[in-house]
């Protein structure tokens, strides 16, 4: 099966190893007639590219995407959209010392246990470069969603143990997110986290983080119970990202400690009860179903696996980068004890680069459900 295809109707297949000829994706099922250009793809790829600061590696990736198919005269044809990004600036020799040992925290040993051998150069397929295909495909999905007014926005909600504020009253600032190296919604939080990250870097150590995501203008009705619920698919999408260890929706783990009377989100009647039919958006509400909104949003915008129309909210936890600069004990291919000193270019924290990855996977899930929802009712 392979596991490299995601989605039911809006489907993406990604390919590529870190030090092979290139990485990319094929998007199949994108509706025809959508305006799309290489620039739409490139804009997102730039956001996931390593920066030059303390957080990220210094591999100077240019990552120019080429659209190989599926677009004609600036519009999608309804045929597969293949996107290729060539690999360049590889320092394969940096990885020679990893050929025969297994890096702790990495997939080296498990890939061998599964497939019998691996491409050790740069982690092969389990490299961060693998996400280029996802981000490129997600960019296509985002154009489709944007044409429906749907906005996806992610940010770093914690890094190196420093939490960003969660409410605007506590200092959460949407406009700050793209202005600091960690993409936190608060300059103060970013500064504090960056200081910790600098310290960790000096100690040749790395840091974990969490990324939160909000989606606005999502129509109600998205999600396919019982197995392809909106949260189920998003959870699967998020945990498919490398280094992800947890995901929570709305109140999340706190919900497990709450009681029902405080967690239930109370319905608010529409201002005009006569305005019972929403005919805008995709899909519109069916005849006879009233508009609804909610006093709180502990549900994170999902009830019974279906979007409520309220803001979709979830958070993903990422472990620290496994490639630390300190010497580590490990074993080699002969099963003997060995010492490892990881070389090459490595991030300290996935935080800023994980933001567009989370957005991309979210976009892929939502585009799929937008299309699926067109088939939920007889007309």
Binding to its own copies in span 70-109, by CB under 8 A: 70-72, 75-82, 84, 102, 104-107, 109
Which of 305, 343, 344, 345 is the binder for its own copies (CB under 8 A)?
305
| Least distance (Å) between residue 359 CB and its own copies | 17
Q: Does 192 bind its own copies (CB under 8 A)?
A: no
Which of 55, 318, 356, 358 is the binder for its own copies (CB under 8 A)?
318
Q: Indicate the residue among 85 and 175 with the shorter CB distance to its own copies.
A: 85
Q: Does 210 bind its own copies (CB under 8 A)?
A: yes
Which of 93, 151, 168, 336 is the binder for its own copies (CB under 8 A)?
336
Q: Does 236 bind its own copies (CB under 8 A)?
A: yes
| Least distance (Å) between residue 60 CB and its own copies | 21
Q: Distance between CA atoms of 13 and 7, rounded to whole angstroms?
A: 9
| Least distance (Å) between residue 204 CB and its own copies | 8
Supply angle C-alpha 250, 271, 149, rounded to 5. 55
Q: Distance between CA atoms of 348 and 34, rounded to whole angstroms?
A: 38
Q: Indicate the residue among 177 and 340 with the shorter CB distance to its own copies.
A: 340
Q: Does 378 bind its own copies (CB under 8 A)?
A: yes
Structure tokens at 92: 């394969």
Which of 154, 164, 299, 363 is the binder for its own copies (CB under 8 A)?
299
Specify whether the CB–CB gap between 213 and 314 falls below 8 A.
Answer: yes
Q: Distance between CA atoms of 132 and 15, rounded to whole angstroms?
A: 9
Which of 306, 312, 357, 366 is the binder for its own copies (CB under 8 A)?
306
| Local structure of residue 279 (DSSP, 8 states) | -
Q: Distance between CA atoms of 45 and 211, rounded to whole angstroms?
A: 18
Specify whether the CB–CB gap between 182 and 193 falls below 8 A.
Answer: yes
Which of 167, 169, 280, 379 is the binder for its own copies (CB under 8 A)?
379
Nearest Cα neighbor of 136 from 320, 262, 13 is 13
Q: Is the dihedral angle over the CA atoms 283, 286, 292, 298 positive or is it negative?
A: negative
Stretch 15-74 residues interacting with its own copies (CB under 8 A):
15-17, 20-24, 26, 28-34, 66-72
Specify whether the CB–CB gap between 322 and 106 falls below 8 A.
Answer: yes
Q: Does 198 bind its own copies (CB under 8 A)?
A: no
Q: Is the dihedral angle over the CA atoms 284, 287, 292, 298 positive or is it negative?
A: negative
| Least distance (Å) between residue 29 CB and its own copies | 4
């Amino acid at each position: 099966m392979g596991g490299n295809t995601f989605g039911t109707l809006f489907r993406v297949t990604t390919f590529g190893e870190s030090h092979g000829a290139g990485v990319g994706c094929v998007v199949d099922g994108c509706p025809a007639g959508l305006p799309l250009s290489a620039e739409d793809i490139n804009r997102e790829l730039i956001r996931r590219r390593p920066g030059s600061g303390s957080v990220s590696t210094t591999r100077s990736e240019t990552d120019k995407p080429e659209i190989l198919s599926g677009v004609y005269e600036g519009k999608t044809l309804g045929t597969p959209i293949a996107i290729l990004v060539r690999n360049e600036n590889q320092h394969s020799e940096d990885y020679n010392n990893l050929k025969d040992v297994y890096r702790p925290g990495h997939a080296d040993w498990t890939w061998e246990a599964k497939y019998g051998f691996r491409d050790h150069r740069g982690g092969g397929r389990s490299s961060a470069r693998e996400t280029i295909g996802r981000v490129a495909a997600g960019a296509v999905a985002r154009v489709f969603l944007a044409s429906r007014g749907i906005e996806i926005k992610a940010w770093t909600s914690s890094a190196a143990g420093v939490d960003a504020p969660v409410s605007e009253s506590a200092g959460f600032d949407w406009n700050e997110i793209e202005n600091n190296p960690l993409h936190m919604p608060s300059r103060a939080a970013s500064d504090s986290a960056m200081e910790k990250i600098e310290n960790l870097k000096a100690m040749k150590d790395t840091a974990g983080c969490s990324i939160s995501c909000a989606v606005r203008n999502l129509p109600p009705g998205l999600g396919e119970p019982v197995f392809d619920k909106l949260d189920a698919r998003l959870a699967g999408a998020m945990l498919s990202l490398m280094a992800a260890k947890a995901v929570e929706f709305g109140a999340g783990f706190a919900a497990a400690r709450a009681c029902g009377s405080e967690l239930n989100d109370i319905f608010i009647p529409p201002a005009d009860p006569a305005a019972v039919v929403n005919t805008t958006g995709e899909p519109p509400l069916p005849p006879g179903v009233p508009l609804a909104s909610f006093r709180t949003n502990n549900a994170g915008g999902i009830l019974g696996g279906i979007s409520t129309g309220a803001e979709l909210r979830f958070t993903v936890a990422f472990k620290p980068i496994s490639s630390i600069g300190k010497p580590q004990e490990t074993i080699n291919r002969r099963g003997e004890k060995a010492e490892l000193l990881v070389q090459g270019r490595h991030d300290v924290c996935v935080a800023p680069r994980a933001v567009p990855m989370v957005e991309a996977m979210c976009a892929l899930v939502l585009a799929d459900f937008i299309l699926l929802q067109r088939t939920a009712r007889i007309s």
